Amino acid sequence: MAVTAAVAISVPAESIVREIEALGITHVVNVPDTHQKSVLALLARRSHPTLVTACTEDEAVGINAGLYVGGKRPMLLIQNTGLLASINCIKGIAMDARIPTFMLVGLFSRDVTKAPADDPKRVINRISPTLDTWEIPWYPLERPDQLGAIAEAYQRSLETSGPTVVLVGAPTS
Amino acid sequence: MSMNRKDPTEALAALRGDAITITTEQCIKAWREAVPDALDDPTHVDVVGAMGSASSIALGIALAQPNRKVIVMDGDGSLLMQLGSLVTIAGAAPENLVHIVFENGVYATSGGQPLPAEGRLDFEVMARGAGFAHAARYDDAAAFKADLPGLLERRGPVFVTLQIEHEVGVPSGTRSAMMGQQLEALRKQLADAAAD
C-alpha cells in the first residue's frame, strides 16, 4: 500500500522554545494544546519564560493584555478550537483596544497529509478563512524551515498593536 | 439585605491609594461618579467590548506589577462570562489582587434580566472553592467600609462579593477604543515609573 507523503512535518519543541526565548518573551499564556504538548512540557521544565495556564482562551487574551500593559512581553499558546472560542475577546481586546497579541495556534486533529484547505474537518479548513475574515495576519509553520514565522509574527503584533497568528501544522515533536 | 452601589464605591475610591483600578459594566458609571477625574486617571481602566474580561486583564496587570495593588470592580454577570477566571486567578495566586464583585443578581445593562440561579448561586463559596487566599461577602455597606482597610492590606488574592440592590442600568458609553487609550495610558505610566 502506498504511503501518502506528509504535507506538514513536525517541528521540534526545542526549536520553538529557542525562538520564543530569542524574542525575550516573558510569559506564555496558555490553555493546553494537545498539538503542542511537547512545547508545553519543555516550558514547564523551565523557569523562564513563565507559563501561565488559563481555564479559557478568553481569559488568556485578557491576561496577555494585562501583562503587556504591565510592561511584560507575553504571548499565547492555544489550540485551533480555542482560537474559534475566543474571537470576541480577540476582537474587543487585541483589535479594538489595540493590544499586541501574538498567538501560536496548533491545528489539532489536522491530517498532515493534506493541506488545511483540503482537510474535511471544519476545525481545520475554516481556521485561515476565519482569520482572513477578521483580517488577522497569519503565518503557516508547516515544517522546521518556517520557524522564522514566529519572530516575524511576534514583531508584527508589536508593530501593528494587534493580533497575529502562527498556525502550527503538525504536532510538535 | 443589600446596599446601594454608591457607598462601597466611594469607600474604595477613598482608600485606593496608588492602586491600579479596573471597572466594568455598571461599576464604570459608579466609579466615575465617585472619582470625578477618573477619565484622566492613567491608573484606571474601564473594560468594555470583551465580556467578562475585567478579572483576566486585572490578573495580567497584577502578575506584571507584583509591587502594585490591583483592584478590579466586577459585575456578577460579567464574572459569570469568565467564571473560570476565579480558578485561573487562584492558580496564579497574585498576592496584590483584590477582586470585588458588585452582585445585584441581574444583567443590569441589558434591561435587568435575572442571572441564572439568581438567589441561589454563591460567589463567596465559589471563590473559596477555587482557592482564593481570602473570600468574604457583605450585605451592609458600613461593615464593608469598616473591613476595607484590612481587606486591602491582606495577602491576596482577595475576593469580596457585595450584595447590591437590584437596578436597571445603562450602557457606560465607553467603547473598546477608549479602553485601548486607557490601557496605553496605564502602560506608559508604568513604563515611566519603572524608568525613574
The domains of chain B are located at 6-187
CA–CA separation, A81 vs A159, rounded Å? Answer: 27
B63–A92: do the CB atoms touch at under 8 Å?
no
Closest in B55, B60, B82 to A65, CB measured: B60
**Mean of pLDDT values over B140-145:** 96
DSSP B134-173: EEEEES-HHHHHHHHHHHHHS-S-EEEEEEB---------
Q: Tell me the C-alpha distance between A129 and A124, whole Å.
A: 10
User: What does residue B35 show for φ and ψ, rounded to 5 degrees?
Assistant: -125, 90
pLDDT at B121 over 80: yes
Q: Are A31 and A164 in contact (CB under 8 A)?
A: no
Q: Would you tell me the crossing angle of helices B6-15 and B26-34 to the nearest 10 degrees?
A: 60
For range B86-111, the mean pLDDT: 94
Chain B residue with CA closest to A59: the answer is B56
User: Whole-angstrom Cα distance, residue A34 to residue A87?
Assistant: 20
Per-residue pLDDT at B167 exceeds 80 = no
Give yes or no for residue B111 having a pLDDT over 90.
no
**Nearest Cβ partner of A62 from B56, B177, B191?**
B56
pLDDT(B174) > 80 = no
Residue of A nearest to B51 (CA): A89
C-alpha separations of A99 from A167, B24, B108, B128 in Å: 20, 18, 28, 32
Indicate the pairing of strand A50-53 with strand A27-30: parallel
Q: Which residues of chain A have a CB within 8 Å of the CB of B58?
A: 66
Q: What is the DSSP letter of A55?
A: S
Show Cβ contacts of residue A34 under 8 Å, excluding neighbours closer than 6 positions.
A79, A106, A108, A171
Cβ distance A110 to A170 under 8 Å? yes
Please tell me the least confidently modeled range out of B1-10, B80-89, B145-154.
Answer: B1-10
Whether ipTM exceeds 0.85: yes
**Hey, which residues 106-135 in chain A have their CB within 8 Å of chain B?**
none
Contact predicate A77/A86, CB 8 Å: no
- Predicted confidence band of residue B19 (pLDDT cuts 50, 70, 90): very high
Is the pLDDT confidence value at B7 over 90? Answer: yes
B52 Cβ under 8 Å from any chain A Cβ: yes
Rounded distance between C-alpha atoms, residue B18 and residue B67, angstroms: 11
- pLDDT tens sequence for chain A (173 residues): 667 788 999 999 999 999 999 999 999 999 999 999 999 999 999 999 999 999 999 999 999 999 999 999 999 999 999 999 999 999 999 999 999 999 999 999 999 999 999 999 999 999 999 999 999 999 999 999 999 999 999 999 999 999 999 999 999 99
Q: What is the pLDDT of residue B170?
A: 65
Q: Note the CATH number of domain B6-187.
A: 3.40.50.970
Question: How far is A166 from A36, CA to CA, in rounded Å?
Answer: 12
Give the global pTM: 0.96
- Check CB contact under 8 Å for A97 and B179: yes
Distance CA A54, CA A59 (A): 6
CB A39 within 8 A of CB A73: no
- Identify the band that residue B171 occupies on the pLDDT scale cut at 50, 70 and 90: low
Q: Side chain identity at B153, as an amino acid letter?
A: E
What integer pLDDT is reported at residue B169 of this predicted model?
67
In DSSP terms, B11 is beta-bridged to none
Q: Which residue of A has its CA nearest to B47?
A: A93
CA proximity to A66, closest of B64, B42, B101: B64
